[in-house]
C-alpha cells in the first residue's frame, strides 16, 4: 500500500506509542477547535488502547468546544499549575499538537523545552522551530486534526477511534477551514470526512455545537464591532477591527467570543487583508487574515512578533491599542503595491 508518510516515520510513531506509559498532550496557547480537537482525539485513541494520557492546555479554551468528550478532564496550566508540573515530572512522552514553536506554549514554554522524555510534534504550521524526537510537520495539510487522522490511519490505529474521537477530528477540520470555505480543496480532506461519517459522526450536530451556541453578548459584540468599529480602507484593499478592554468587558468577553470576528472585513468586496486588534491585560493581541498571495504570516513575523499560515496569522504588540492601529495603518502604506497586486 502506498503511504503518505515515510515508513520509518510511521514505524517511529507506532514504536513511541507502543512504549509510552504516561503521556502528555499539549496544544498552543488560546487553543482553537483544531488544537483541542486534535488533543482530545489523540487522548481518546490512547485511552481506548489502554494508555494513560493527559491533555494540558496553556490557558482556558472556548465553551463552544467543551462538549467534546474528555473536555472535563483537561488540565489548564493557568488554573492547575502544581498538578501540571507534577504531571511533567512523571510523564515519559509528550505530544505537541498544532504549534511549531515552544514560545506558543506561552507560560508552559520552559516545561515543554525542558521535558526529558520522548517529544513528538504533529503540526501544519510552516517552518517548525522545535526540537522533537519525531517531527510530523505538513503545512500543506489544512488542519492538525486531518494530519493526525492520516497518521493514525496509516499506523492502523483508527480502529481505536470511536465516534467521539471522530467528532473531535471533524471539529478541527471544520474550524481550521472556516467550515470548508478555505484551504479545503484537497480531495483527501473529503475522503477523510467520508471515513469519519462511516465512523458515525453527526456532522450537523458538530456544526451546530460549534457555530450555533453563541451567547447573546457574543452576538452583540459582533454587532458592535461591525457597526461601530470596522474600518475599511479600499485604497489599500484592507480593513480592521479594534476592541479595547473596556469594550470587551462591556460585552462580558469570554474566551472564543471573538473567534471568526477577524474575517468580516475580508468579506467586503475587494478587500484582501485585514486585522483584529484586541486589548488584553498586558499586550495587544493581533490577528491577521489575507486572501490570495498576500503573506499575512511574513507581515506578522516582521512587525508583530508572530507567525502562522500565509492567509491566517497572529502576533502581539506592546504598544497601546491606538498606537498599534496607527502602526498598522502606516504599514499599509509600505505594503500598498503588494496589496494592490495581490490576487
Ligand atoms: P489567530 O488569529 O486565530 O489567533 O491565529 C491565526 C494563526 O496564527 C494560527 O495558525 C496561529 O497558530 C497563528 N498565531 C496566532 N498568534 C500567534 C503568535 O503570537 N505567534 C505565532 N508564531 N503564531 C501565531
Ligand atoms: Mn491548526
Nearest to 77 by CA among 93, 62, 59: 59
Give the mean pLDDT of 21-38.
Answer: 98
Q: Which domain holds residue 13?
A: 7-211
Residues 153 and 257 in one domain: no
Q: Which atom of ligand 1 is nearest to the CA of 100?
A: 22
Could you read off the pLDDT of 199-223 as tens digits, one per residue? 999 999 999 999 999 999 999 999 9
| 32 is a domain residue | yes
Q: Which ligand is nearest to the CA of 122?
A: 2
| 288 in any annotated domain | yes
Same domain, 137 and 231: no
Same domain, 28 and 85: yes
Instruction: Using most ligand atoms within 8 A of CB, pick from 241, 307, 316 the residue to mutate for ligand 1.
Output: 307
Compute the distance between CA of residue 81 and CA of residue 59 in angstroms, rounded to an integer.
Answer: 11
Q: Is residue 1 part of a domain?
A: no
Q: Is residue 60 pLDDT above 90, yes or no?
A: yes
Final residue in a domain of this structure, among 193, 211, 229: 211
The reply to whether 261 and 169 lie within a common domain is no
Q: Which atom of ligand 1 is nearest to the CA of 101?
A: 22
Whether 83 is in a domain gets the answer yes
Instruction: Give residue 306 CA to ligand 1 midpoint distance, Å.
Output: 7
Q: What is the mean pLDDT of residues 44-60?
A: 98
Does some domain include residue 329? Answer: yes
Query: For ligand 1, is residue 307 a contact (CB within 6 Å)?
Result: yes
Q: Summarize the confidence of residues 159-184 as an average pLDDT.
A: 97
The answer to whether residues 270 and 137 belong to one domain is: no
Last residue of a domain, one of 211, 230, 251: 211
Return the CATH number at 144: 3.90.1640.10
Is the CB–ligand 1 distance for residue 29 below 6 Å?
no
Average pLDDT of the residues in 56-70: 98
Q: Is the CB of 312 under 6 A from ligand 1?
A: yes
Number of domains in the chain: 2
Nearest CA to ligand 1 atom 16: 314
- Does residue 70 form part of some domain? yes
Q: Is 113 found in the same domain as 190?
A: yes
- Ligand 1 centroid from CA 314, angstroms: 4
275 and 161 part of one domain: no
How do residues 217-264 score in pLDDT, each as one tens digit?
Answer: 999 999 999 999 999 999 999 999 999 999 999 999 999 999 999 999
Give the ligand whose atoms come closest to the C-alpha of residue 39. 2
36 lies in the same domain as 172: yes
Domain membership flag for residue 2: no
Q: Is residue 15 part of a domain?
A: yes
Could you tell me if 44 and 151 lie in one domain? yes
Confidence of residue 25 (pLDDT cuts 50, 70, 90): very high
**297 CA: nearest ligand 1 atom:** 8
User: Candidates 129, 130, 313: which one to mutate for ligand 1, based on the most atoms within 8 Å of Cβ?
Assistant: 313
Ligand 2 centroid, distance to 212 Cα (angstroms): 21
Q: Which of 211, 241, 259 is the last residue of a domain?
A: 211
Q: Which atom of ligand 1 is nearest to the CA of 287?
A: 2
SS3 sequence of the chain:
CCCCCCHHHHHHHHHHHHHCCEEEEECCCCCCHHHHHHHHHHHHHHHHCCCEEEEEECCCCCHHHCCCCCHHHCEECCCCHHHHHHHHHHCCEEEEECCCCHHHHHHHHHHHHHCCCEEEEEECCCCCCCCCCEEEECCCCCCHHHHHHHHHHHCCCHHHCCHHHHHHHHHHHHHCCCCCCCCCCCHHHHHHHHHHHHCCCCHHHHHHHHHCCCCHHHHHHHHHHHHHHEEEEHHHCEEEEEECHHHHHHCCCCCCCCCCHHHHHHHCCCCCEEEEEEECCCCEEEEEEECCCCCHHHHHHHHCCCEECCCEEEEEECCCHHHHHHHHHHHHHHCHHHHHHCC
Ligand nearest to the CA of 33: 2
Say if residue 309 is in the same domain as residue 334: yes
- In this structure, are 204 and 247 located in the same domain? no
pLDDT in tens, 105-154: 999 999 999 999 999 999 999 999 999 999 999 999 999 999 999 999 99
What is the pLDDT, as a whole number, of residue 143? Answer: 98
Residue found by looking up cell 512523571 in the block:
90
Using the mean position of ligand 1's atoms as its centre, give its distance from the Cα of residue 307 in Å: 6
State in Å: Cα 235 to ligand 2 middle: 32
Mutate which of 306, 309, 311 for ligand 1? The one with the most ligand atoms within 8 Å of its CB, which is 306
* Torsion angles phi and psi, residue 73, rounded to 5: -105, 10
Which one of the ligands is nearest to 300 CA? Answer: 1
User: Which cell goes with 153?
Assistant: 490511519
Q: What is the CATH number of the domain that holds 281?
A: 3.10.310.30
pTM reported for the whole predicted model = 0.97
Q: Ligand 1: which residue has its CA nearest to atom 10?
A: 308
Mean pLDDT of the chain: 97
Q: Do both 152 and 228 map to the same domain?
A: no
In this model, does residue 343 exceed pLDDT 90?
no
Q: Which ligand is nearest to the CA of 142?
A: 2
Amino acid at each position: 500500500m502506498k503511504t503518505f508518510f515515510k515508513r520509518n516515520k510511521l514505524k517511529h510513531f507506532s514504536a513511541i506509542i507502543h512504549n509510552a506509559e504516561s503521556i502528555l498532550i499539549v496544544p498552543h496557547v488560546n487553543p482553537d477547535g483544531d488544537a483541542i480537537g486534535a488533543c482530545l482525539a489523540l487522548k481518546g485513541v490512547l485511552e481506548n488502547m489502554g494508555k494513560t494520557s493527559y491533555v494540558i492546555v496553556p490557558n482556558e479554551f472556548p465553551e463552544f468546544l467543551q462538549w467534546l468528550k474528555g473536555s472535563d478532564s483537561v488540565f489548564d496550566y493557568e488554573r492547575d499549575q502544581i498538578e501540571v508540573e507534577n504531571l511533567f515530572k512523571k510523564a515519559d512522552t509528550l505530544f505537541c499538537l498544532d504549534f511549531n514553536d515552544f514560545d506558543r506554549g506561552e507560560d508552559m514554554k520552559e516545561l515543554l523545552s525542558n521535558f526529558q522524555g520522548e517529544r513528538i510534534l504533529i503540526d501544519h504550521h510552516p517552518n517548525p522551530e522545535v526540537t522533537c524526537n519525531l517531527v510530523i510537520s505538513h503545512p500543506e495539510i489544512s488542519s492538525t486534526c486531518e494530519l493526525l487522522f492520516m497518521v493514525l490511519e496509516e499506523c492502523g490505529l483508527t480502529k481505536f477511534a470511536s465516534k467521539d474521537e471522530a467528532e473531535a477530528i471533524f471539529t478541527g477540520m471544520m474550524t481550521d477551514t472556516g467550515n470548508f470555505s478555505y484551504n479545503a480543496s484537497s480531495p483527501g480532506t473529503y475522503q477523510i470526512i467520508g471515513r469519519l461519517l462511516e465512523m458515525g459522526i453527526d456532522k450537523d450536530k458538530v456544526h451546530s455545537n460549534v457555530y450555533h451556541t453563541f451567547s447573546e453578548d457574543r452576538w452583540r459584540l459582533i454587532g458592535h464591532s461591525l457597526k461601530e468599529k470596522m474600518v475599511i480602507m479600499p485604497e489599500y484593499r484592507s480593513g480592521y477591527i479594534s476592541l479595547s478592554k473596556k469594550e470587551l468587558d462591556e460585552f462580558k468577553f469570554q474566551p472564543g467570543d471573538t473567534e471568526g470576528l477577524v474575517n468580516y472585513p475580508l468579506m467586503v468586496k475587494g478587500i484582501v487583508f485585514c486585522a483584529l486588534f484586541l486589548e488584553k491585560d498586558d499586550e495587544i493581541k493581533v490577528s491577521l487574515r489575507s486572501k490570495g498571495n498576500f503573506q499575512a504570516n511574513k507581515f506578522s513575523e516582521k512587525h508583530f512578533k508572530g507567525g502562522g499560515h500565509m492567509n491566517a496569522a497572529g502576533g502581539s504588540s506592546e504598544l497601546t491599542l491606538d498606537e498599534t492601529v496607527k502602526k498598522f495603518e502606516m504599514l499599509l502604506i509600505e505594503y500598498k503595491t503588494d496589496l494592490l497586486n495581490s490576487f
